[in-house]
Amino acid sequence: MQFGAKFRVRFMNLSELQKGQSGTISSFSDEEMSVKLMEMGCLPGESVRVDYIAAFGDPMAVTVAGYQLSMRKSEAATIILTPTD
Amino acid sequence: MKNLIRVALLGNPNTGKSTVFNSLTGLHQKVGNFPGVTVDKKTGHCTLSDTHVAEIIDLPGIYSLYPKAKDERIAFEVLADKKNKLHPDAAVVVADASNLKRNLLLFTQVADLKIPVILALNMIDVAEKAGLKIDIDKLSRKLGVPVIPLNARNKQGIAELKAAIARVSPVPTQKKTIDVASLEPAFLSEVQQRLSIEEPYEALHVANQYKNLLYLEEGSVPVIEELIRKHNFQPAKIQLAETAARYNYIEELLSDCVHQEVPPAAETFTSKIDKVLTHKVFGLLIFVLILFIIFQSIFSLAEYPMSLIEEGFASFSGWLISVMPPGVLTDLLVNGIVAGLGGVVIFVPQIAILFAFIAVLEDTGYMARVIFLMDRIMRKVGLNGRSVVPLISGIACAVPAIMATRTIENWKDRLITILVTPLMSCAARLPVYVLLISLVVPDERVAGIFNLQGLALLFMYLLGLFAAIGVAYLMKFIIGSKERSFLLMEMPIYRMPRWSNVAMTMYDRALAFVVQAGRVIIAVSIILWVMATYGPRERMQAVDAKYATAEMQQRYTPEELEHHLGSEKLENSYVGILGKSIEPVIKPLGFDWKIGIALITSFAAREVFVGTMATIYSVEADDSHMDSVREKMLQATNPHTGLPVFTIATAFSLMVFYAFAMQCMSTLAIVQRETKSWKWPLVQLAYMTGMAYVASLITYQLLR
């Protein structure tokens, strides 16, 4: 790890990704939501890619666990991604 | 006597579960309701062999036995409650073979209830195309249950599935999936013991869902609550641990049985279409265009069958009159029952066409994109993306529109959608608008292109739309809810619609409408007929006597005499008296007692307005004579002032009243059925009619 890198490490959530960007699910910030997300195949370690975002920036459609899932921004915000450099 | 095996069909949404159901049962199916919930209950029969018949129960499409919407609990209840009338001998879990990981979650939950189970891997063709190689035998061995690959659209594998159902073991054979008991050992064993529940997984669900389960014995709830406190049971935490454990198990299983042979294509057929259909600008434009096409079709395609039905009923009434002896019974049959029935059946073409379109949009996968596109906009006003279809359907008829709200999982959003949908200008308001606009709005063009009458009609439709949005916005704050609203929706891949499924949906919905709404409409039609035919005896006799005189006989031709007699009898009937008695209330709106009668009769159904006006102004009630109703109404003057009754102020006040007032018994009946209470239809009746009164009052006083 380069010196100073720790300052760039930030816990992003899924709602912050742009169209076409991907990330890996690390954890969830909302217990009730996390159960539903996991039932729909959003598991820690699973990679997600933002496919498209609706007009006015909400909701978004992502590819996860081999299929496409749509969710509101507020729902995506509960999915915390593994920090990437 | 053949052996009957009862089988429950389960699976995630979009797995082709209903195609499997249709392939198994063909036309031998029945649609009903599960007690206490508004989930369609479909059951059907399937001949398995010379000796075995299966009764198939189609349970709602779910991702998990933990319900996302309250009504989904029915799936768990049917499986767990051994005393339930529908409790199956075996379960068939239909899974999407191209997405086994997520689909097997539900399978492992069902398996842990220790009910004999069969796994059907549907859409095996899609999985193969995606380069997935599934070792069916190995999967079957590892799970300990029969696994049947299917391509239900082409009926491939259906025979094998039937054979597997016929051979199903009476005792569960599945291997252990996860160690449920170890999730919360002390708590679960005590729940099992105290409520005498055999399976730890059932005990876990009972502890999680006890507030909504209807089958629990009396006294169970306090016991569960006591144990929850004693052991400090945290349902969400345990559910999370359970789900994670299940996925671990599934991951391990699949790594052995499924291999990705070819890497999946980066750009699929679906993603290419989605580039256009979910585009921020074009997506919305295309959606508006599709709506436009649907409405054009509803009105133009339904026109012909509707006029056929109308003519059919007219000639049937004529035939009845000709063969039956004249009298009260004939009159009741013709003007009460047959007329009421005709009023129901006339809407069948529009309902069937609307639902055909909805079925096509759902089947192709486009509906999920509509919900996706509209969610943000609709949420601003207290609705959600799933409210779009019901609201739009409301332009045809509120009854099927309210039936279409079942897809809205969140109860508050669904309730608001149900409450505001009848504000959308339905087809039954159209004749009322057309008649009144032609009466007071000149048939002229403005700015060279816009027809003034057309603009007035457009204004009435927009008024309904904005009223619906405004009321939804207010309801958002008034109706409380603890339930969170979720979108979280699978976007299915695009596929060709299954035409048999489309035809089946048309048939189901039309039948449900005729049966459910028909009862109410016919009952009300009969009541109205009685009230419009009978009146206080001395008053009716006086009318008869008046027209029996020689002077009257000379003044009018026999037909004219009959019309005048009929109209004066109506005036003195119970409905007429009621109309006169409400006159003081509706006078500030610019209405006289004759309009009052039309308002009262319109509470059965709005389209009755034109017919009532025709009766009151004593002309033939028949569309070709619309002009003569118009002329009579134009000539109508107020006996006190000598001024015309139908001024711009009165006509618009009346139209505004029709736009807002809840004047549709069938809608109220369907709302009662869908909300399972009389509270909401009454709330709807009160708020809409109150709003109509105030808005009409303002309109009349401003325009006067």
Q: B72 with B209, same domain?
A: no
Cβ atoms within 10 Å, residue B195: 19
Distance from CA of A62 to the nearest CA of B (A): 9
Confidence check: pLDDT of B625 > 50:
no
The 10s digit of each residue's pLDDT in B29-53 is 777 666 666 677 889 999 998 888 9
Confidence check: pLDDT of B256 > 60:
yes
- The answer to whether the CB atoms of B488 and A40 lie below 8 A apart is yes
Which of B365-374, B422-431, B436-445 reaches the highest mean pLDDT? B365-374
| ipTM rounded to 2 decimals | 0.89
Q: Is residue A41 part of a domain?
A: yes
Q: What percent of chain B has pLDDT over 90?
A: 42
Q: Is residue B385 part of a domain?
A: no
Q: Is residue A20 part of a domain?
A: yes
Q: Are B104 and B240 in contact (CB under 8 A)?
A: no
Q: B13 with B160, same domain?
A: yes
d(CA B147, CA B164): 9
Specify the higher pLDDT residue, B146 or A57.
Answer: B146
Q: How many CB pairs under 8 A join A and B?
A: 106
What pLDDT does B90 receive? 96
Q: B105 with B248, same domain?
A: no
Q: Is residue B12 part of a domain?
A: yes
Q: Is residue B214 part of a domain?
A: yes
**Contacts B204 to A, Cβ<8 Å:** none
Q: Is residue A73 part of a domain?
A: yes
Q: What percent of chain A has pLDDT over 70?
A: 86
The 10s digit of each residue's pLDDT in B574-594 is 888 888 899 999 999 999 888
> For chain A, what is the domain count?
1
Query: Where does a domain end: B232, B260, B288?
Result: B260
Query: Where does a domain end: B260, B275, B306?
Result: B260
Q: Is B266 on the interface with A (CB under 8 A)?
A: no
What pLDDT does B619 receive? 44
Measured between CA atoms, the residue of chain A closest to residue B127 is A66
Confidence check: pLDDT of B2 > 90:
no
DSSP state of A13: B
Q: B123 with B211, same domain?
A: no
Question: What is the pLDDT confidence band of residue B617, given thresholds at 50, 70 and 90?
Answer: low
**What's the mean per-residue pLDDT of chain A?**
86
What pLDDT does A4 receive? 45
What pLDDT does B624 receive? 44
* Long-range CB contacts for residues B78-87, cutoff 8 Å, separation at least 24: B78/B8, B78/B34, B79/B8, B79/B110, B79/B113, B79/B115, B80/B113, B80/B202, B80/B205, B80/B206, B80/B215, B81/B215, B83/B215, B84/B215, B86/B6, B86/B8, B86/B43, B86/B57, B87/B6
What pLDDT does B623 receive? 44
**What's the mean per-residue pLDDT of chain B?**
86
Q: In which element (H, E) is residue B400 found?
A: helix B398-403
Query: Where does a domain end: B166, B198, B223?
Result: B166
What is the domain range of residue B122?
A: 3-166
- Picking from B410, B485, B488 by the largest number of A CB atoms within 10 A of its own CB, the best residue to mutate is B488
Residue A2: both structure tokens together: 């380069």
What pLDDT does B36 receive? 62
d(CA B441, CA B167): 73
d(CA B401, CA B387): 10
Which of A36, A38, A56 minimises the CB distance to B376? A56
> For chain B, what is the domain count?
2
Q: What percent of chain B has pLDDT over 70?
A: 94
Task: Tell me the pairing of strands B147-149 and B117-122.
Answer: parallel
What pLDDT does B656 receive? 96
Which of B247, B377, B487 minimises the CB distance to A43? B247
Question: What is the pLDDT confidence band of residue A7, given thresholds at 50, 70 and 90?
Answer: low
Q: Are B59 and B96 in contact (CB under 8 A)?
A: no
Q: B195 with B161, same domain?
A: no
Q: B213 with B99, same domain?
A: no
What pLDDT does B610 receive? 74
Specify the higher pLDDT residue, B104 or B571.
Answer: B104
Q: Is B64 on the interface with A (CB under 8 A)?
A: yes
Residue B239: both structure tokens together: 């559910």
Q: Is residue A60 part of a domain?
A: yes
What pLDDT does A2 receive? 46
Q: B15 with B161, same domain?
A: yes
Confidence check: pLDDT of B521 > 80:
no
- Picking from B102, B106, B109, B271 by the largest number of A CB atoms within 10 A of its own CB, the best residue to mutate is B102
Q: B204 with B144, same domain?
A: no
With a CB-CB cutoff of 8 Å, which residues 206-265 of chain B face chain A?
236-237, 239-240, 243-244, 247, 264
* Least confident range of B10-19, B229-238, B521-530, B680-689: B521-530
Separation of first and last alpha carbons in chain A: 10
Confidence check: pLDDT of B91 > 70:
yes
The 10s digit of each residue's pLDDT in B106-164 is 999 999 999 999 999 999 998 998 889 999 999 999 999 999 999 988 889 999 999 99
Q: B152 with B187, same domain?
A: no
What pLDDT does A1 receive? 42
Distance from CA of A18 to the nearest CA of B (A): 14
Which of B236, B385, B489 minimises the CB distance to A32? B236
What is the domain range of residue A37?
A: 13-81
CA atoms within 13 A on the CB side of A55: 19
Q: Is A20 on the interface with B (CB under 8 A)?
A: no
Q: Are B27 and B75 in contact (CB under 8 A)?
A: no
Q: Is residue A21 part of a domain?
A: yes
Q: In which element (H, E) is residue B291 found?
A: helix B282-323
Q: Is residue B63 part of a domain?
A: yes
Over residues B434-447, mean pLDDT: 83
Q: Is residue A7 part of a domain?
A: no
Q: Is residue A58 part of a domain?
A: yes
Q: Is residue B440 part of a domain?
A: no
d(CA B75, CA B60): 7
- The answer to whether the CB atoms of A54 and B280 lie below 8 A apart is yes
d(CA B87, CA B109): 17
Which of A55, A66, A68 minimises the CB distance to B373? A55
Over residues B659-671, mean pLDDT: 89
Q: Is residue A3 part of a domain?
A: no
Helix axes B235-257, A31-39, angle to 10 degrees: 20
Q: Is A36 on the interface with B (CB under 8 A)?
A: yes
Distance from CA of A80 to the nearest CA of B (A): 16
The domain spanning residue A23 has which CATH number?
Answer: 2.30.30.90
Over residues A19-41, mean pLDDT: 92
Write the CB contacts of B125 (distance below 8 Å, at least 6 apart in sequence): B151, B154
Distance from CA of A84 to the nearest CA of B (A): 23
Q: B123 with B19, same domain?
A: yes
Measured between CA atoms, the residue of chain B closest to residue A28 is B240
Q: B102 with B24, same domain?
A: yes
Which of B66, B239, B372 minimises the CB distance to A61? B372
What pLDDT does B1 receive? 60
Which of B68, B278, B368 minimises the CB distance to A52? B278
What pLDDT does B620 receive? 41
**Contacts A32 to B, Cβ<8 Å:** 236, 484
Q: B48 with B113, same domain?
A: yes
Distance from CA of B71 to the nearest CA of A (A): 16
Residue B221: both structure tokens together: 């709830």
What pLDDT does B318 receive? 86
Confidence check: pLDDT of A5 > 70:
no
Helix, strand, coil tally for chain B in percent (to 5) = 65, 10, 25
Over residues A41-51, mean pLDDT: 93
Q: Are B287 and B373 in contact (CB under 8 A)?
A: yes
**Contacts B377 to A, Cβ<8 Å:** 55-56
